[in-house]
Structure 1
Amino acid sequence: MTQHDREPRGNEPTSPYPQETTTPPQASVSLRDPAELAEALPYLLGFYPDDSLVVVALHGERGRFGGRLRIGIPETESSWPAFAPQIAECLDSSSQARGARPDGALIFLCQEPGEGHTGRDVMERLRPLVQELRRACGNLEMPVYEALCLSEGRYYSYVCPDPRCCPPEGVPLAEANTSAMAVAAAYAGVPMHGSLREMERRLLPLGPPFAEEQTRVLDSVSAELTPRMLSSKGRKQVRTDTLALIGRLMERFQRCSPTAATNVGQDAHDDGLLSHDEAASAILGLQDRETRDEAAEWMEGADVGPALRLWRALARRCAGPYIGYAAALLTLAGWVAWSGGDVPTARVALGLALRTDPDYLFAQLLHHACNEGLDPKLVRRCLRSGPGSEQGDGGDERPKGTEGTEGEARS
């Protein structure tokens, strides 16, 4: 099978939203057996998909890779018979929308065993799900050529009958960065982001004792800002103040780049650049749609890196009862990552935004656009054409807690 990376496709974390993905163009490598397929999976997505089902479309006689769907594995086994046809139909329809229906499919299931269990146990537990998926794909004339379970550092094949190639006890995965796909990805400059869980962790709220103090400050700032945002004049002034604050924070994040080698160290550095008061004012101010849209213009050139770090850091400050406020920050993080060409990070951030608030319209629109492989320049023009353009109206948005309906404030 040959990998030909094509236009972007989309979605991420353990959200209910299936996700397609791909890697940048120009890389090409032939994969000839289950071992090479298993080792290639993280490079097809840009990260290792913990607790995930991944389905890959195949095209042509040589099995050229097409669209990829990633979704969390449903915990309820009784839902699998209804779930499998939906995944098969999604893969088929999304591929046809790009001009060619799949000639076949690959299935990957990635899950670690619980306490007292083994990778083989995981493989056997998920076997009925694989059978449902194979049946659903077959009904759409997309035969599944290989189905692999990756667990506990091994892969298990549901399709290969040869015990010399795929023994029942599984086959150890090769060391990281040693496969043919790893070499091709490195040559093509394809970034790797570790695991899905690690990527999500960079966007999740900080825990105690940090969170308690941030929540207290959020309560205090909310009591001061919310009454001001009830009037048109007050809302405009809060918008001006918020954008000025974001501008100062952007300058700070541009000047102070992290030097730590690890993601944890880098995030800790960025957390130290924000006071509780600054974080609270920015988080609450960005709940206004027009403010958010103006802030979304920091997404080009030298702004991309600092903006992504800032939105991540602010998302981590949405603690306690303010977790829902993270939808705006996660969407901004997804947007700036997509604008900067980091599609895997964009899909993780947008997936988390939709997990936080499934009705958040801005995240829905960006998520769909990213999945459809649209050029972010088109969205950029919409954002710059005026307030509310992504919704087709120019109405003001009231702060949370003051709106007539929940949907108005969470767009």
Structure 2
Amino acid sequence: MTPSDRPRLAVRSPADLIAAVPYLLGFHPADSVVVVALSGPRITFVARADLPRAADDPSPPARHLAEVVARQGVESATVIGYGAPTRVTPAVDAVRVAFAVTGLPVVDALRVTAGRWWSYLCAEPECCPPDGTPYDAQASAVPAAAVFAGQVALPDRAALAAQVAPASGTDTGGATARAELRLAELLGRARPLDRPVGPSDDRLLREAGVDALRVARRRQRDGGSLTDDEVAWLGLLLTYLPVRDHAWQRTDGRDADIALWTDVLRRADPELIAAPASLLAFAAWRAGQGALAAVALERALARHPTYSLALTVDDLLRRGVPPEVLDGWPAVELPGVVRRRRRRRGRTTR
């Protein structure tokens, strides 16, 4: 689910809209149903879902998609299905029915298959021939305008997921072991996990976490990158909720936030990815990059399925909560989420 507050792209035809969708999503969709929602003539929200399998009922995911889009306060929508007609047509029909229930007008419904597009709402052979209309995305002015505006369309969703995949050439195991020894020395223990963190440890952990985050942001601002040891140290400290929440309160939708947490996520030990993956997802959601937020959450929840911040951001995405509700963050509350005020102690994977 992606709010579209990026530079405007001039869309004058179905072919232009098809050419624009990959830049609105961040990747070229396949076997997907995409809803492009508008307020007046302006695209304000884009949502994508996988096509249901042939044996599955397309109605439940269609209803969810329609409810999410309708929640944005938009005025109309275009539905585009990508893939074989046997799978696209039932999915698009189900979405159209779901939108009829919500009362949101569907301007057009299209199928894109093998370099051609068809309209489900137009039967005029002059503009919508039965054999489909061939299109060449590169013949549209939209891709050039999008690239000029700094927008990127990756080949597919797998390429987007690869951007948050573990980096090669990182001394993850050795760096994590050194970070745990450093933590043991900080807390004055024989081993870092001998006993739960107590009140006397809170101040040391928070100060270390604040300092590690400050170092990371300064290094990034100066055009450098963290060492493997610095990534492991920051990742380990983020397992303590006061440190994680300090980082969360200082994470918004800035490019610097996305770059920092992407780097830490890719280079952190798998046992330490829950916090950086969730912080990346939060930053991406705030920036209107719902697809990036989703792949970051997939990494977090695959390894840590009960991690609270990942589940919170996942819920925001699934409900289609627009990121502007947090304008002024962290001075505003997350919608539908009660933030606990009391201090928590202890190392946690929540």
Normalised TM-score (structure 1):
0.65
Residue from 23, 27, 30 that aligns with 2:5: 23
| Aligned amino acid, residue 199 of structure 1 | L
- 1:149: which partner in 2? 111
| Aligned amino acid, residue 350 of structure 1 | A
Give the superposition deviation at 1:291: 0.5
Structure 2 residue 199 is matched with structure 1 residue 232: yes
Structure 2 residue 168 is matched with structure 1 residue 218: no
- 2:344: which partner in 1? 396
Q: 1:160-188 CA distances to partner (integer Å, 9 max, x unpaired)?
A: 4355645536623321xx5344466568x
Conserved 8 A contact 1:52-1:73: yes
Give the superposition deviation at 1:216: 5.5
Structure 2 residue 334 is matched with structure 1 residue 352: no
Q: 1:216-241 CA distances to partner (integer Å, 9 max, x unpaired)?
A: 54366458433465323234323322
- From the superposition, tell whether residues 29 and 348 of structure 1 become closer, same or farther in structure 2 (CA, over 3 Å): closer
- 1:174: which partner in 2? 137
- From the superposition, tell whether residues 337 and 128 of structure 1 become closer, same or farther in structure 2 (CA, over 3 Å): closer
Conserved 8 A contact 1:20-1:371: no
Give the superposition deviation at 1:391: 1.1
Unaligned runs of 5+ in 1: 1-18, 112-121, 258-269, 384-388, 401-408
Conserved 8 A contact 1:312-1:330: yes
- From the superposition, tell whether residues 399 and 382 of structure 1 become closer, same or farther in structure 2 (CA, over 3 Å): farther
Conserved 8 A contact 2:251-2:279: no
Residue from 150, 160, 172 that aligns with 1:199: 160
Residue from 43, 48, 60 that aligns with 1:82: 60
- SS at 1:53 equivalent: strand
- 2:123: which partner in 1? 161
Written as runs of structure 1 = structure 2, the 5 A alignment for 1:9-408 is 19-24=1-6, 27=8, 29-32=10-13, 34-45=14-25, 47-49=27-29, 51-58=31-38, 65-75=43-53, 77-92=55-70, 94-95=71-72, 98=73, 102=75, 104-110=76-82, 122-162=84-124, 165-166=128-129, 168=131, 171-175=134-138, 179-182=140-143, 185=146, 189=149, 191-195=150-154, 196-206=157-167, 210=169, 213-215=171-173, 217-218=175-176, 221-222=179-180, 224-227=191-194, 230-257=197-224, 273-275=226-228, 277-296=229-248, 298-299=250-251, 304-320=254-270, 322=271, 325-336=272-283, 342-344=287-289, 347-355=290-298, 356-357=300-301, 359-363=306-310, 365=312, 368=316, 371-374=321-324, 376-381=326-331, 391-400=339-348
Give the superposition deviation at 1:335: 4.1
- From the superposition, tell whether residues 31 and 375 of structure 1 become closer, same or farther in structure 2 (CA, over 3 Å): same
> Matches of 1:338 and 1:131 in 2, distance apart?
29
- From the superposition, tell whether residues 359 and 180 of structure 1 become closer, same or farther in structure 2 (CA, over 3 Å): farther
Unaligned runs of 5+ in 2: 182-190
Q: 1:189-232 CA distances to partner (integer Å, 9 max, x unpaired)?
A: 4x31323443332212235xx47x52454366458433465323
- From the superposition, tell whether residues 244 and 64 of structure 1 become closer, same or farther in structure 2 (CA, over 3 Å): closer
Conserved 8 A contact 2:111-2:119: yes
- 1:265: which partner in 2? none
Conserved 8 A contact 1:157-1:166: no
Give the superposition deviation at 1:314: 1.2
Which stretch of structure 1 is more off in the superposition, 279-288 or 349-358?
Answer: 349-358
- From the superposition, tell whether residues 23 and 391 of structure 1 become closer, same or farther in structure 2 (CA, over 3 Å): same
| Aligned amino acid, residue 140 of structure 2 | S
- SS at 1:225 equivalent: coil
- From the superposition, tell whether residues 214 and 31 of structure 1 become closer, same or farther in structure 2 (CA, over 3 Å): same
Give the superposition deviation at 1:286: 0.6
> Matches of 2:322 and 2:52 in 1, distance apart?
24
Q: 1:304-361 CA distances to partner (integer Å, 9 max, x unpaired)?
A: 55543231111012455x2xx423112322444566xx422xx334323443336544
> Matches of 2:249 and 2:217 in 1, distance apart?
12
| Aligned amino acid, residue 256 of structure 1 | G
Q: 1:288-310 CA distances to partner (integer Å, 9 max, x unpaired)?
A: 22102222455589xx5554323
- From the superposition, tell whether residues 76 and 239 of structure 1 become closer, same or farther in structure 2 (CA, over 3 Å): farther
Give the superposition deviation at 1:78: 1.3
- From the superposition, tell whether residues 57 and 245 of structure 1 become closer, same or farther in structure 2 (CA, over 3 Å): closer
Give percent identity, aligned residues only. Answer: 24
Conserved 8 A contact 2:160-2:295: no
Conserved 8 A contact 2:26-2:152: yes
- From the superposition, tell whether residues 42 and 314 of structure 1 become closer, same or farther in structure 2 (CA, over 3 Å): same
